[in-house]
């Protein structure tokens, strides 16, 4: 019998092409010979053989070819021409409409929804993937007073933002979701992002405010903010993927999550100020329609290039931060903003924001007076997804997807693609090395190759003609979730992922 290590080099590598990427990684660790044979050139060739276009979209980009190969093969197995994804759904749920879905990276058994009935609801993915049982493990309808638009988490911390102008901070535990602190931002909170485990950026109409979750609102009466001319609709922080997207997830058994009292399983039936709209209308709404009336309430008198701090404890007060930058002294040199190359590069204080003022802006939050880089759109940036620290994908209604090179502090649009038939805008966009996930308000959910041009991965979209319009999307660790304007929820994942959630039969 011939052993693997006695095979000729080319034959060995040919055999490896018939193995799963994860199996080849294990084989690579067997001995030095296999390690040298299965080097970068092998993995690069393997990835490029799976691409329908140019990858990466910008030549010269650094790529982790091994992890990319694993993700690409996994995504193709699910959503490619012979895809075998398993789907679960709850149609026309009790919610009047869902605008935020989230799977906490460090609590991957938990699915959290925010809806237009101001409810924050948690489901156990263990139960859903086991037998399609959608029993709530917690439900809170008293904390927020308006539609919930954004949910983000980092490790055991979670924040939720609402039309009521408040950002809420929560602790995720083994048995509960516990409210920590509420920060009044005095304007609808449409999007948020973690900058580090203790710091969150959250939109408040035309401001993006930076909040230290370790401090109470009274301790943090003046918080830093950056400013657009109109409402901020989306944001992304490169550091969030590193600190919050870890594959090392906590081993939590949320199937045993208990209700925790009346505050979770409350029958308190209260409606938001917008609840008079019928469900047929809810799926059609976009934040821009709801924000239009705020243009008259919140003026734009302050110059966009003025540093801003915000008083969180005494109303909607926006104050010029005259002390930044500080005046120089004889003993201390003046502080000057960094160059484009020095800023937005490897910093945890980096934030990208997209606004109804047609601009996508890149900020160095140490120098918040004006963006370091910006790009103007014909319409406006509605959704964004960071593939990694070098590449940003942005959705522009009604059907354009742009790819930006953000290396070395740049914001260069390297490619724009028009999606045929996408005529109403986007409900969600997620970019990964395995695939680009998008849902459109016209009712379609699709997965694309992360290439130039972007090409659908399957022969047809994974979902079409979804009633109520797909309004939000989340992808985490092999699970894709979409929420709709009629309260429906959709999940796609692999059979192996389903098995991993089932009890060990052995």
* pLDDT tens, position by position, 431-459: 999 999 999 999 999 999 999 999 999 99
| Strand pairing report for 148-154 and 136-140 | unpaired
pLDDT per position as a tens digit, 279-295: 334 444 566 666 655 55
| Residue bearing the bigger pLDDT, 274 or 210 | 210
What pTM did the predictor assign?
0.82
Model confidence band, residue 221 (pLDDT cutoffs 50, 70, 90): low
Can you read off the two tokens belonging to residue 157? 């911390």
Can you read off the two tokens belonging to residue 415? 């490619």
Q: What is the C-alpha to C-alpha distance for residues 308 and 209, in angstroms, rounded to an integer?
A: 9
CB distance 375 to 384 below 8 Å: no
Q: What is the C-alpha to C-alpha distance for residues 454 and 54, in angstroms, rounded to an integer?
A: 9
pLDDT exceeding 90 applies to what percent of the chain? 54
Model confidence band, residue 503 (pLDDT cutoffs 50, 70, 90): low
| Residue bearing the bigger pLDDT, 160 or 305 | 160
CB distance 441 to 470 below 8 Å: yes
Which 3-state string (H, E, C) describes 21-35?
HHHHHHHHCCCHHHH
- Residue written as tokens 């980092």? 154
353 three-state secondary structure: strand
pLDDT of residue 305: 43
Can you read off the two tokens belonging to residue 280? 């047929």
Can you read off the two tokens belonging to residue 43? 């993995």
| Residue bearing the bigger pLDDT, 34 or 434 | 434
Residue 47 has what DSSP assignment? Answer: H
**Phi, psi dihedrals of residue 68, rounded to the nearest 5°:** -65, -40
Contacting residues for 505 by C-beta, under 8 A, at least 6 apart:
none
Can you read off the two tokens belonging to residue 231? 């409402």
Model confidence band, residue 348 (pLDDT cutoffs 50, 70, 90): low
Q: What is the C-alpha to C-alpha distance for residues 188 and 232, in angstroms, rounded to an integer?
A: 10
Q: What is the C-alpha to C-alpha distance for residues 24 and 139, in angstroms, rounded to an integer?
A: 44
Least confident piece of the model among 232-241, 279-288, 313-322: 313-322
Packed helices 40-48 and 65-79: angle between N→C axes, nearest 10 degrees: 30
In DSSP notation, 203-257 reads EETTEEEEEETTS-TTTTSEEEEEE-SS-EEEEE-HHHHHHH--S------GGG-
Which CATH number among 3.40.50.720, 2.60.120.920, 2.130.10.10, 3.40.630.190 corresponds to the domain 86-323+337-501? 2.130.10.10
| Residue bearing the bigger pLDDT, 327 or 134 | 134
CB distance 426 to 395 below 8 Å: yes
Residue 453, preceding peptide bond in cis (omega within 30° of 0):
yes
**Residue 493's closest CA among 503, 502, 505?**
502
């Amino acid at each position: 019998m011939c052993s693997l290590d006695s095979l000729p080099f080319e034959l060995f590598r040919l055999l490896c092409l018939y193995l799963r990427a994860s199996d080849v990684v294990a084989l690579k660790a067997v001995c030095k010979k296999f390690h040298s044979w299965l080097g970068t050139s092998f993995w690069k060739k393997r990835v490029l053989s799976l691409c329908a276009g140019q990858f990466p979209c910008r030549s010269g980009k650094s790529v982790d070819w091994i992890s990319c190969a694993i993700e690409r093969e996994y995504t193709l197995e699910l959503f490619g021409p012979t895809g075998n994804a398993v789907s679960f759904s709850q149609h026309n749920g009790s919610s009047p409409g869902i605008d935020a879905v989230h799977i906490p990276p460090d609590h991957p058994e938990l699915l959290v929804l925010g809806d237009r009935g101001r409810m924050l609801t948690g489901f156990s993915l263990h139960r859903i993937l086991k037998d399609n049982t959608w029993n709530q493990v917690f439900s809170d309808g008293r904390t927020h007073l308006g539609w919930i638009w954004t949910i983000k988490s980092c490790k055991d911390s979670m924040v939720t933002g609402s039309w009521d102008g408040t950002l809420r901070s929560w602790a995720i535990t083994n048995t509960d979701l516990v409210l920590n602190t509420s920060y009044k931002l005095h304007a609808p909170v449409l999007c948020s992002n973690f900058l580090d485990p203790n710091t969150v950026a959250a939109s408040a109409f035309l401001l993006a405010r930076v909040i230290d979750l370790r401090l109470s609102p009274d301790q943090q009466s003046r918080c830093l903010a950056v400013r657009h001319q109109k409402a901020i609709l989306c944001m992304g922080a490169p550091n969030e993927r590193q600190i919050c997207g870890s594959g090392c997830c906590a081993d939590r058994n949320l199937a045993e999550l208990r209700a925790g009292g009346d505050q979770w399983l409350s029958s308190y039936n209260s409606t938001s100020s917008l609840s008079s709209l019928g469900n047929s209308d809810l799926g059609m709404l976009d934040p821009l329609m709801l924000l239009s009336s705020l243009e008259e309430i919140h003026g734009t008198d302050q110059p966009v290039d003025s540093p801003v701090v915000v008083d969180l404890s005494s109303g909607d007060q926006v104050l010029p931060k005259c002390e930044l930058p500080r005046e120089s002294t004889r003993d201390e040199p003046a502080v000057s903003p960094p160059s484009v190359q020095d800023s937005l590069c490897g910093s945890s204080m980096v934030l990208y924001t997209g606004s109804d003022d047609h601009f996508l802006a890149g900020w160095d939050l140490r120098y918040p007076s004006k963006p370091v880089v910006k790009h103007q759109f014909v319409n406006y940036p509605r959704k964004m997804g960071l593939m990694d620290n070098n590449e940003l994908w942005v959705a522009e209604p009604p059907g354009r997807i742009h790819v930006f090179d953000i290396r070395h502090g740049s914001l260069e649009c390297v490619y724009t693609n028009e999606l045929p038939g996408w005529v109403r805008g986007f409900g969600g966009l997620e970019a990964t090395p395995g695939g680009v996930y998008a849902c459109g308000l016209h009712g379609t959910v699709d997965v694309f190759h992360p290439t130039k041009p972007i090409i659908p991965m399957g022969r047809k979209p994974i979902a079409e003609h979804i009633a109520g319009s797909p309004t939000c999307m989340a992808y985490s660790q092999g699970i894709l979730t979409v929420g709709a304007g009629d309260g429906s929820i959709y999940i796609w994942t692999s059979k192996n992922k389903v098995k991993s959630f089932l009890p060990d039969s052995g």
